[in-house]
Structure 1
Amino acid sequence: MFKILNMIRVYTKEPGEREPSSKPFILRKDTTIMDLARQIHSDFYENFSYAKVWSKRLPFSPQKVGPAFILEDGDVVEIHTK
């Protein structure tokens, strides 16, 4: 259903926590890390430093990524601020 609607599910994780949140953010396909940061809270957007992403599609997981990284369905994201 998400593919038909061009939507993705992205899970967030707090630094130091082992497991991601059980409730995903429902986002449009081609959403970037910065789009997600803005949706979570303006402080994450304004003070963004980098993010770690866990995903089966990445050669290394977690991978440190920048603000333009495009998210895909099922990604787990940990945002780090300045």
Structure 2
Amino acid sequence: MKEPDAPPLLLDITSETCPMTFVRTRLALDGMPAGGLLRVTLRGEEPLKNVTRSAQSLGHTILATEEAAGDGRHILTIRKKEEG
């Protein structure tokens, strides 16, 4: 029987600028188990594009992109790639 999914790890990088936005995201992903969920809150179009592109290039899956409160913040839900 499969274990229930753990709750997503939350990461707020709204005060960070590129390239630190993805550095912080990657550090969080590196510390997570394969298949884990990470919800990243970020601010601005450039971090949104860069974090999305960088996570996908490493094999992770973007499950959702949500606009948060209409103030330029977005929430990305990322599933860490499976090992192997």
| TM-score relative to the length of structure 1 | 0.30
| Larger helix proportion of the pair | 2
- Structure with bigger gyration radius: 2
> What TM-score do you get using the length of structure 2 for normalisation?
0.30
